Amino acid sequence: MFHVLHYTSNWRSDPILRSMFEARKRVFIDLLKWDLPVLEDSYEVDRFDEPGAIYLVLSDADGNHRASTRLLPTGRPHLLDTLFPDLCGARPPKGPDTWEITRFCLDRNLRASDRLTARNELVSAMADYALAFGIRTYTGVAEIGWFRQIEAFGWNCRALEGLALKQDQTLTGLRIDITEETPSLLKVTGIYQRHDRSEGVRHAA
């Protein structure tokens, strides 16, 4: 199932949000060894998880986390302008139709083939969500190898000016422009998968 969720301070009461924060801890802290805050030794929740953040989450039939990403409005502080301004050149892209992608997370418990499927479904959901809600540009920060993969998905993606070295990783800023042609471009590379409406979409504030 595909969930569109908004941050709430009562996120522990929502099993989908709770499992997402648990999955982020397993991926970004336990696996990738990022230096991030840990809440209650179980959840990766940072200062950008606040009102205004939106989460696109894929779960299985039992509600288990498969994949997720966080979208941040660029009209308020976000990673690119707050922590990585040197990756942007003159200034980071901002505006009501520009949102930042962060915490793109594929669950560690998935098999390799299932991770690939979940990745493609989440990228497709990001494109569909943008078209449905007037998002014209996604921005983000990515390790250079991951950026090359994102670029190869086929959509209109380019690096912003500047590189940074953090925790022995080379990072770059990125910009993805979304148009009506984006699903077709993603389909050419085998990424795009139209959401099956019979599986349901859950929107929750």
> How high is the pLDDT of residue 86?
78
- CA distances (Å), 155 to each of 30, 90, 96, 167, 190, in order? 31, 24, 21, 29, 12
pLDDT (tens digit, 9 = 90+) per residue, 35-78? 889 999 999 999 999 999 999 999 998 999 999 999 999 999 89
Which is the CATH superfamily of the domain at 2-193? Answer: Gcn5-related N-acetyltransferase (GNAT) (3.40.630.30)
> How high is the pLDDT of residue 201?
56
Mean pLDDT of 132-150: 94
Please indicate whether residue 93 or residue 133 has the higher confidence score (pLDDT).
Answer: 133
Mean pLDDT of 134-160: 94
Residue 162's pLDDT band, with cuts at 50, 70 and 90, is low
How many helices and strands (H and E) does the chain possess?
5, 8
Q: What is the dihedral of CA 115, 50, 31, 151, to 10 degrees?
A: 50
pLDDT (tens digit, 9 = 90+) per residue, 189-200? 999 987 654 344
Share of the chain above pLDDT 70, in %: 91
Q: What angle do CA 55, 49, 97 make, to 5 degrees?
A: 55
Mean pLDDT, the chain, as a whole number? 90
Contact 16, 57 (CB under 8 A): yes
Parse the chain into domains and list their residue ranges: 2-193
Mean pLDDT of 119-140: 96
- The set of residues, in sequence order, having a beta carbon less than 8 Å from that of 107 and lying 6+ positions away, is 23, 26, 27, 64, 65, 66, 67, 115, 118
Residue 88's pLDDT band, with cuts at 50, 70 and 90, is confident
